[in-house]
Structure 1
């Protein structure tokens, strides 16, 4: 990913939220997502990414169609060798075409090469499609849940964990 990709990544992230979280997060929140503000956030996150944070994009026909971001696990309670998948989004028009799997595969490979033993990620508890995606990729819920509230609605997240292959 480059800084120039931030606008398209912001669009994919917003469209991804609006598609994946419809019925899970209040519609007023999803309708209020602002592309200009999201572009600014993506640029700031990209420019200020900490050590080990990697942003990846997937392209199709010369256009960015997906985005993933991973790096060290953000909670200091766990071993430093744990990685975290911070985000993975695919443009809704490109779902079920292998884009997400390719991004996840590349993130896992890079985390393995960086010496991480496992990858953790958070997913909305009620997001059945995403949970199936991660479970097919070898991740399992580890029993940890986090409360999250959006406009007064409870939308808890569950943590998933998956081993990373040992690099030869």
Structure 2
């Protein structure tokens, strides 16, 4: 019998190609109609995998990449670390990315990855976790809101191939205040 539980673990170098497939598949699915199709069409798994390997080789330990396995195959990826306010890192945590194989949307993989990122950031003593999401990405916004994140009013311009695709910031408190 297959084990359909979701297992979260730190990403390893051999995961880079699969993570690139998931990331690009996620972009092409989640951002269709939100960013120019011309940009989505130029995304290349091999180039992205090489970029992942390069990042992985230069990792200083401040950023954590996690993968989710189901049925023995990597089905999702999340990455978090210190919040970046410009070039300055703050005491808050930031979810830099989270992507799930588009064929597995709704299977709890994204939720499991997000919960583990929140758990690890809380254990590390971060007070808040922040993230940026495309303003018009209603599906992602609902996902984060169900997980306790709220838009905090901050917005950033973002442009892809000359088209404005603004981002909004979401925040979630991680520790109880006394």
Normalising by structure 1, report the TM-score. Answer: 0.94
Aligned to 1:8: 18
In structure 2, C-alpha distance between the alignment counterparts of 1:150 and 1:80, rounded to whole Å: 27
- Give the deviation of 1:47 after TM superposition: 1.9
Aligned to 1:58: 68
Structure 2 unaligned regions, length at least 5? 1-10
- Give the deviation of 1:50 after TM superposition: 3.2
Are 2:87 and 1:87 equivalent residues in the alignment?
no
Are 2:33 and 1:23 equivalent residues in the alignment?
yes
Aligned to 2:47: 37
Are 2:165 and 1:162 equivalent residues in the alignment?
no
Match of 2:107 among 94, 97, 118: 97
In structure 2, C-alpha distance between the alignment counterparts of 1:70 and 1:2, rounded to whole Å: 15
Are 2:163 and 1:153 equivalent residues in the alignment?
yes
In structure 2, C-alpha distance between the alignment counterparts of 1:78 and 1:151, rounded to whole Å: 27
Match of 1:139 among 149, 161, 172: 149
Normalising by structure 2, report the TM-score. Answer: 0.89
CA deviation digits over 1:8-37, x for unaligned, max 9? Answer: 000000000000000000001101101111
More strand by share: 2
Match of 1:119 among 113, 129, 132: 129
* Aligned residue pairs, count: 166
Distance change (3 Å), C-alpha of 1:144 and 1:77: farther
CA deviation digits over 1:70-128, x for unaligned, max 9? Answer: 01111169883200000000000010010000000000000011110110000000000
Q: Is the 8 A contact 2:126 2:175 kept in 1?
A: no
- Give the deviation of 1:51 after TM superposition: 3.4
What's the secondary structure of 2:78's corresponding residue? Answer: strand
- Give the deviation of 1:45 after TM superposition: 1.6
What's the secondary structure of 1:30's corresponding residue? Answer: helix
